[in-house]
Homo-oligomer: A and B are copies of this chain.
Amino acid sequence: MNIYDVSQHAGVSIATVSRVLNGNPNVSEKTRENVLKVMDELGYTPNVFARGLGLDTMHTVGIMCSDSSDPYLAGAIYYLERSLRSHGYDSILCCTGYDLEVKQKYFSLLRSKRVDAVILAGSKFVEMRPRDNSYLLEAAADLPIMLVNGWLEGDNIYSTVCDDRAAVKQAVSLLIGSGHKKVLYLYSSYSHSGLNKLDGYKDALTAAGLPVQPELIHQCAKDVEASRDLLLSLADEGLTFDAVMTSDDSLAVGAVKYAHARGISIPGDLSIVGYNNSLLALCTDPEITSVDSKVEALCTTTVNTLMGVFSGVNVPSRTTIASDLIKRSTTNF
């Protein structure tokens, strides 16, 4: 018996049930009476949303991340913890790795601790096969699930995403506009965010009337050396390219190393764009132009949305944050 059952039986949204529970005046008297009647009939005890009122709550939120030693996710954890703390919530951290079974196990564990919500940090928590996400959809009936730069449709699931597609489109359009004809695209992940970035690359080519050439699109482990070696072998096979757009700074660092290894001048003969604007982009010579994917804004917005859910306010199920292109010395725009 949970809030989802109440919303189903009453024929209203979970947000409406939540507003009734929280005494939010933004509900008609008729709806309120209907919801309360259904609760009574079902014998529902409003323990989940009562949490938002400070009743029956540990004031604790679970944060799951695949790997907190990844620089992007390390930043995310820092900002999420700080923002939750500012609202009086503790963070229980779970570093899950990438295996689905382990993620599910840790997710169950967090639920058994009666956390008030679970935040999934990073886009690696939404699986390609819908049935692999069913444990999240089912759990959302009992507690809000917040996705940081991931997207999953469902009641009581809230996403805050960066406009990755627009960000990559903008960067690639600038590369094309500054005279590049063959922009190689390197990416590491097929996640929501990963696929969006790839679409942004294709958007830019299409907008410029250029063909999408599969031989210019390559998947690569998120690793400096793997990226350098891939580019070296592609060049050895005779592939030519005058710019490299990447889905992560580590891949862009690999591209800088490839250029150094082959004596190719940057940005004269090769332009390079990174993603995430991490510390890594500042370590190379020249420093790397990179998309700032606004991890701090993503995290504080996620927590603000969650606080809205707790207090029964109407919040959007999806919020998009605009990225920023930080121009440095690996590009001539």
State the A residues within 8 Å of B (CB). Answer: 60, 63, 67-69, 71, 74-75, 77-78, 81-82, 85, 90-95, 106, 113, 224-225, 250, 253, 256-257, 260, 279-280, 282-285
Contact = CB atoms under 8 A, between A and B. Distances in A.
Contacts of A85: 94-95, 106
A91 B106 CA distance: 13
Contact of A74 (B68, B253, B257): B68
A67 B71 contact: no
20 contacts: A60-B92, A67-B78, A68-B77, A68-B81, A69-B74, A69-B75, A71-B279, A74-B74, A74-B77, A77-B77, A77-B93, A78-B95, A90-B92, A91-B92, A91-B93, A92-B93, A260-B285, A279-B280, A283-B283, A283-B284
A11 B85 CA distance: 41
A222 to B, nearest CB: 11
A46 to B, nearest CB: 25
A81 B69 contact: no
Contact of A68 (B68, B280, B285): B68
Contacts of A81: 68, 93-95
Nearest to A280: B283
Given A224-B282, A253-B283, A92 B94 contact: no
A250 B279 contact: yes
Contacts of A90: 92, 113
A93 B74 CA distance: 12
Q: Which of A67, A279, A282 has the most CB of B within 10 A?
A: A279
A193 to B, nearest CB: 19
Contact of A82 (B75, B95, B256): B95
